[in-house]
Amino acid sequence: RRAIEIRPRAKYYNDLGAAFFQSNLPLEAEKAYQKSVELDSDFAKAHWNLARLLSLRGDHERAKSHLFRALYLDPSLRRQISG
């Protein structure tokens, strides 16, 4: 967290969100992913991660919005959907 305070970067917040997600802390993960998207609205992986989290929480409308944005920014993410 110290690195984020010194130099806020979208990637750092995305990584923090992933750590929170892996630690079963979904609210903290959502905040971190959201901050990542705010810092860089073109960061596909952050949109992807936020969409995945929101979908798991049942917030499908918001998830869909972030999923579409992620796929628009990085079409290669489609492979993760189709397995």
Residuewise pLDDT in 10s, the chain (83 residues): 665 666 679 999 999 999 999 999 999 999 999 999 999 999 999 999 999 999 999 999 999 999 999 999 999 999 987 65
pLDDT at 8: 77
pTM of the complete model: 0.89
- Neighbouring residues of 74: CB distance < 8 A, sequence distance ≥ 6: 44, 45, 48
pLDDT at 72: 97
- Neighbouring residues of 17: CB distance < 8 A, sequence distance ≥ 6: 28, 29, 30, 31, 32, 33, 36, 46, 49, 50, 53
pLDDT at 74: 96
pLDDT at 2: 62
Residue whose C-alpha is closest to residue 14's, from 66, 64, 57, 78: 66
- State the Cα torsion 76-55-46-17 to the nearest 10°: -140
